[in-house]
Amino acid sequence: MGKIKKVVSTVWYDKENYHELRNVFPESEFVYVDFYDKEKLAEEAKDADVAIILGDVDNCLLGENSLKWIACDHAGLNGSARDEVFAKNIFVTGAAGRSAPVLAEHCIYFMMQYCYHTKELLAAQAQGIWGVEGSQSFRGLYGRKVGIIGMGNNGKMLADRLHAFGMDIYAFDKFPFNGYDYLKGKFIGNNGDTIDYILENCDFVVLTLALTDETYHMFDVEAFKKMKNDAFLVNMARGGIVSTPDLTAALENYEIGGAGLDVLEEEPFPSDHPLWNMPQVYITPHMTPQVPNRSKRSIEIIRENARRFEAGEPMLNLLTEADRFKSGNNQSGFAKLTNSNIPKEQVAKLPLEKFLGPRGWTDPAEWNYLD
């Protein structure tokens, strides 16, 4: 593809990580723009080769410019998998895999909460009560069946950890994957397999797959009817894979046993929604704890992709036609903030460090220099 002459970036990094990112492109002009200053971003992109951005591909980057590669600093690219982005005919990449170890831990956190009836035990502790009704029937993870739907980075990390717990593991992915001989069952969508065995037989069903038009509302009324009535669903993927009304009804009607949800169709999730108050539901606000220096892991992906870009080699975490997503409204998480039409003056007044973490700098000159 040739040399990268100019990079424009909106990511929210501290000084140390921004300095390292800047040095990934030692021969390039490197310009920082606040992610909410869309006019400046569009202007700087006019003669840039690469944009490294906080969220999904914003419409301001789809106009007349020289961009050849947009790196999105998050894992799921469904918010960028739209017609106007594909029409741009450039590379769009993500940061999938940077948090896989702790995402796997987060899945197990939900599963353990359900096994150990955490809400009941904490309520008893708060009242100084020794013993919880029904505790003789509590069961752990050992020897139970779990189905992992999506065997990418997160699914594979989870499988390894659940194997150590002594669980019987069944896995589904659209595409064939090698290894993992300890699996009790391996189902491949492109070979004609379905998720039905997992739904009908597994005590735990964990979602670690991408959100696409094909997977949108994969878990609906029909899927929940096939699940065991004491099965526990974990969604660590994207909210749109699960129909919120259908999940709510399935839980209210005791068609499934419970759910652990880090992602939901609408984020932030409405405070008056009944899911909040269901005793068998555990919700975290899309906030998996970080691996040590998650930004540095993103930078390593960008570094390798910069090398591949200039060498003309296949890019890591590349958005493809198979990821196309027209369903839903993409109005959750980063999409709400980064692709909204909120005036930049209003966004600048928000407590951004509360949600994005501390940066520790105000002037890009503090890090924008070469070693």
Q: Which domains does the chain have, with CATH numbers?
A: 6-97+291-366 (3.40.50.720), 100-283 (3.40.50.720)
Here the contacts of 219-222 (C-beta below 8 Å, separation 24 or greater) are 219/243, 219/246, 219/247, 220/246, 221/246, 221/249, 221/250
Helix runs in 11-88, H state only: 15-22, 38-45, 83-88
Instruction: State the DSSP H helix or E strand holding residue 123, giving kind and residue range, or none if neither.
Output: helix 118-126
Residue 97 falls in which region: left (phi positive, over 0), alpha (psi -120 to 50) or beta: left
CA distance linking residue 356 with residue 94, whole number of Å: 18
Which residues are catalytic, by number?
238, 267, 286
* pLDDT level of residue 351 (50, 70, 90 thresholds): confident
| Angle at which helices 153-164 and 100-115 cross, to 10° | 50
- Per-residue pLDDT tens digits for 200-222: 999 999 999 999 999 999 999 99
Say what the pTM is: 0.84
Mean pLDDT of the residues in the chain: 93
* pLDDT of the residue at 291: 63
- Per-residue pLDDT tens digits for 147-174: 999 999 999 999 999 999 999 999 999 9
Residue percentage of the chain with pLDDT more than 70? 95
Judge if the upstream peptide bond of residue 268 is cis by omega within 30 degrees of 0: yes
